[in-house]
A and B are shown apart, each in its own frame.
Chain A
Amino acid sequence: MTGAVSHGDPHAAESGHAQRGISNPILGMALFITSEVMFFSGLFAAYFATRAANQPWPPEAFGELLEPLSLILVATIILILSSFTCQFAVWSIRKGDRAGFIRNISITFVLGIIFLVMQMYDYSILFGEGMTLGSGPFGTTYYTLTGFHGAHVFGGVLMLGVVLYRGLAGQFSAKHHDAVEAVSLYWHFVDVVWILLFSILYLV
């Protein structure tokens, strides 16, 4: 993963080539997140186009279901909190504080799972009220956007699990923790997407 000349080249350091700036895995993750942003841009564009073509929005049948001051607000706060704990974990491992890192990444991992459970509970309520993917533009866009976000949270929880496992195995240190940095970038991205989703679905 080091550059072309890292193995055995005495001049690598003096030519300033070896490991300068952002590392390969973190740059790779940043680019992956860029592509994910574009994926959600497509879904958001579809949401706004559908919403503009269907008034009133939300339709009266489902209007009272989307009450922002409810379970979903708690879920939102939990996800935002998990972004903070994730960043605390990064700061801990940067200082070489492994215990603090494990503690914070465990909390993040658990908060992520709680968010997913709450989302499933929310879905069960909505299904109970007769709102499905097939019940018109509102149901389609609601489940597609929150569903793909939930899938990304699920992916993030898996990544957090891997990072936690590797942390427990003692694989990270102040110098070597690219995976932690990359996963935390991804987790923040998932959080930002949710804040936007919550805003357009529940507030605006």
Chain B
Amino acid sequence: MATHALSPAAVPAYRGGIYEWLTTTDHKKIGIMYVINSFLFFLVGGMFALLVRTELAQPGIQFFTNEHVYNESFSIHATVMIFLFIIPMLAGLGNYAVPLMIGAPDMAFPRINALSFWMLPLGGILLLMGFLVPGGAAAAGWTSYPPLSERGALSSPGAGQDLWIVALILIGTSSILGGINFLVTIFKMRAPGMTLFRMPIMVWTILVTSVLVVMATPVITSALVMLFIDRNYGGSFFNPETGGTAVLYQNVFWFYSHPAVYVMVLPAMGVISEVLPVFSRKPLFGYKAFIFATAGIGALGFSVWAHHMFTTGAVFLPFFALMTFFIAVPTGVKMFNWVFTMFRGQLTFSTPLIFAIGFLTMFLIGGINGAFSAAVPVDFALHDTYWVVAHLHYVLFGGSVFGVFAGLYYWFPKMTGRMLDEGLGKVHFALMFIGFNLTFFPMHMLGIKGMPRRIADYASTAGWNDWNLLATVGGFLIGISMLPFIWNVFVSLRNGKVAGDDPWEGNTLEWATSSPPPPYNFDRLPEIRSERPLFDARHGLVAHDTNAPREVEDGQKAIGAGPGEGREGQA
């Protein structure tokens, strides 16, 4: 038996263009909508970042009319980037790729999948509507610690903070439903032969991420609900005046928000773990070690939340510092996986690989300065300074965002049937890489020199002027770097090189179907006998099934062929 021929289900009745997209339950269309929606919010969040950088370019208040607008800007910047860009963007890539990678026709619950998506633009609009209400949008930072976020004349009197809470509950619910959907899909919908330890790494990282989402996101929902009760019904969860505990919010909040860091980075690690082997012409070095490292990061992720709270004096410092150091171990394992995948490989420096290397180098810096800050005395010195801002951007921008773009360049041909332009892609990378380092490396210096985060103004004599100006220039360079990307997408959609089924000679099942794939995904699947079924198919399953009877079906594609046939197809 050489192939598993899959006869398509009944083709749905045709519905007109926009109506089809608005009502679709196809994971590929939903995935693409996730990506577009997230990218739009990326631009919105980027605008707010540029407003913040413009204000900080020079000492004094010159750009905003008052500091409150500045507070709104950095709060909405962070909230949008985390909850409406990185998390849903990676969920969107997963939504597109996971069913294809495991040989499934769709997600387990297609309608819940559509619901998960549509909650996102709704949540985003609610969040941004804060700018229209009296008192303005949420301005207590993305962490919204009480008492800053409590209702009070000096804290957050307006409805903007309530809109922020409701938006985050909606987005969180969308994440939870998406996580459940991913888990059921991965556990129940795999094609024959696709055992757990033959799944692509991307699927493994989505699996671990989904566990984190399902276990951690409800906890922040509970924190938000309590904050809402405090603000609107006179509750006293977090208000010490009436017997509440302010640190309680921080505990519950970070119990979600630290695992959320791994929700934001694990799928990006999955993306580059797909990209690096393909463009190095080698299997991933240490496939199982990588999986165990991913699971290890996920498990340890639940025991480190209080390293955000060292200076509260309310947490057991040695435990949380030690557990935080431990996280560096599985992360270090992964660095070896990636570096040794590339070592002695036949590297093709296409845009996805370049972005993956960007991830590797920048995430390395972010990881090292993170482990550095995990030391309690260092953290006491650097807490709430720009050092932290530098660290988190090296992880979430240098890591996740570079990984996102690696994934976009990698899967764009599959999504659209067209290749993105390599030249424009490299210009995009160069501008973004230089801009990123110009923006965020100086923030290390600012942090060490003692500049606190979330301030609109600083003394011109503090010695922070030059680094701030440099960071602002870099910020605008990042903004400019999006222009070649957007131009690239529009040009390539019309005139890009036709991709064909498998432009990169990929290893995983999504490249076994047409580009873009049909609604039911696969006409037939190759045999799955390893984590690289397409490699096996191209090279004729040399290592496997040598005694299997040969079957030849006329007109069959090489990838669907049995032992030996694929080799002829190659020649």
Assign chain B's interface to a size class.
Answer: 35 or more
Are A4 and B105 in contact (CB-based, < 8 A)? yes
* Interface flag for A169 (CB, 8 Å): no
* Interface flag for B7 (CB, 8 Å): yes
Distance (Å) between the CB of A102 and the closest chain B CB?
A: 28
Interface residues in B59-79 by Cβ distance below 8 A to A read none
Taking CB atoms, residues of chain B closer than 8 Å to A54 are: 243
Contacts A39-B222, A133-B229, A144-B226 given; indicate if A5 touches B191 (C-beta within 8 A): yes
Are A35 and B214 in contact (CB-based, < 8 A)? yes
* Interface flag for A1 (CB, 8 Å): yes
Taking CB atoms, residues of chain A closer than 8 Å to B4 are: 5, 9, 11
Partner of A35 from B180, B233, B245 at Cβ < 8 Å: B180
Stretch at the interface among B26-34, B181-189, B329-337, B354-362: B181-189
CA distance A42 to B218 in the complex (A): 8
**CB-nearest residue of chain A to B248:** A49
Distance (Å) between the CB of B263 and the closest chain A CB?
A: 14
Taking CB atoms, residues of chain A closer than 8 Å to B242 are: 136-137
User: Chain A binding site: helix, strand, loop or mixed by DSSP?
Assistant: helix
Partner of B243 from A35, A36, A39, A50 at Cβ < 8 Å: A50
Contacts A39-B218, A43-B222, A140-B237 given; indicate if A50 touches B229 (C-beta within 8 A): no
Are A5 and B187 in contact (CB-based, < 8 A)? no
* Interface flag for B9 (CB, 8 Å): yes
Are B6 and A140 in contact (CB-based, < 8 A)? no
Are B7 and A42 in contact (CB-based, < 8 A)? no
Residue from B188, B216, B223 with most neighbouring chain A CB atoms (10 Å): B188
Contacts A4-B105, A140-B229 given; indicate if A38 touches B188 (C-beta within 8 A): no
* Interface flag for B317 (CB, 8 Å): no
CA distance A4 to B242 in the complex (A): 57
Taking CB atoms, residues of chain A closer than 8 Å to B223 are: 42
* Interface flag for B109 (CB, 8 Å): yes
Stretch at the interface among A26-34, A118-126, A172-180: A26-34
Are A46 and B7 in contact (CB-based, < 8 A)? no
Are A36 and B7 in contact (CB-based, < 8 A)? no
Interface residues in A16-67 by Cβ distance below 8 A to B read 16-17, 22, 24, 27-28, 31-32, 34-36, 38-43, 45-46, 49-50, 53-54
CA distance A140 to B104 in the complex (A): 47
* Interface flag for B219 (CB, 8 Å): yes
* Interface flag for A8 (CB, 8 Å): yes
Taking CB atoms, residues of chain B closer than 8 Å to A42 are: 218-223, 252, 255
CA distance A138 to B1 in the complex (A): 68
* Interface flag for A134 (CB, 8 Å): yes
Are B108 and A38 in contact (CB-based, < 8 A)? no
Contacts A42-B223, A50-B243 given; indicate if A27 touches B191 (C-beta within 8 A): no
Contacts A35-B215, A144-B229 given; indicate if A4 touches B189 (C-beta within 8 A): yes
Chain A residues bordering chain B, tally (CB within 8 A): 42
Are B192 and A134 in contact (CB-based, < 8 A)? no
Q: Mark B162-200, 1 if CB is under 8 A from A, else 0.
A: 000000000000001001110110011111110000000
Distance (Å) between the CB of B208 and the closest chain A CB?
A: 14
Partner of A137 from B9, B189, B244 at Cβ < 8 Å: B244
Are B6 and A35 in contact (CB-based, < 8 A)? no
Distance (Å) between the CB of B460 and the closest chain A CB?
A: 44
CA distance A158 to B216 in the complex (A): 27
CA distance A5 to B290 in the complex (A): 29
CA distance A125 to B105 in the complex (A): 55
* Interface flag for B236 (CB, 8 Å): yes
Contacts A9-B6, A137-B242 given; indicate if A50 touches B237 (C-beta within 8 A): yes
Are A4 and B236 in contact (CB-based, < 8 A)? no
Are A38 and B215 in contact (CB-based, < 8 A)? yes
Are B219 and A41 in contact (CB-based, < 8 A)? yes
Taking CB atoms, residues of chain A closer than 8 Å to B218 are: 35-36, 38-39, 41-42
Binding site for B on A (CB under 8 A): 1, 3-5, 7-9, 11-12, 15-17, 22, 24, 27-28, 31-32, 34-36, 38-43, 45-46, 49-50, 53-54, 132-134, 136-137, 140-141, 144, 148
Q: List 23 A-B contacts (CB under 8 A).
A: A4-B6, A4-B104, A5-B191, A7-B8, A7-B9, A9-B5, A11-B1, A17-B190, A28-B180, A28-B181, A32-B180, A38-B217, A42-B220, A45-B252, A46-B226, A50-B236, A50-B245, A134-B236, A136-B236, A137-B242, A140-B235, A140-B236, A140-B237
Q: Which 6 A/B pairs are nearest by Cβ-Cβ distance? A: A134-B234, A42-B222, A39-B218, A15-B192, A8-B7, A137-B243
